[in-house]
Amino acid sequence: MSTSWAYLYGQPGADPVADRVVVDRVVVDRVVVDRVVVDRVVVDRAGQRTSLVPVPDESLAASIAVELVEEGVGLIEPCGGFSLPAAARVIEAVGGRVPVGHVTFGAESVAGAAAYSAQFDASQAGAS
């Protein structure tokens, strides 16, 4: 059983249907961070560049964030699936050069997020 998720991000003037990015296995940009290959999707629209960067392991998030800042990214937004310590490591790593947000789950979403995480973990175990 596969899992699917959506990351909702603010981009003024965007059409939520026409500007939607759905990634199955499309590689737009590939970089190597700490000897790990990371594939990225980059959306450049109306002067705003949005990079959707999958992080294979949250322990790599801080070093990936530093590389993004060095490339000129002006805001880092880790997904709520990252732990608070991982988000804190990102904040520390970028050293105040750019703002870092952290999308988190509201209390009403914790049970659903835990169920999704369990389903995802089970699908990964089955894929091994």
pLDDT by residue (tens digit) across 58-69? 888 898 889 888
List of long-range contacts for 18-23, beta carbons under 8 Å, 24+ apart: 19/43, 19/45, 21/52, 23/52
User: Each residue of 86-127: pLDDT tens digit?
Assistant: 899 999 999 999 999 888 888 898 898 889 888 878 887 776
pTM of the entire predicted model: 0.68
* pLDDT of the residue at 120: 78
Q: Which two tokens stand for residue 116?
A: 């999704």
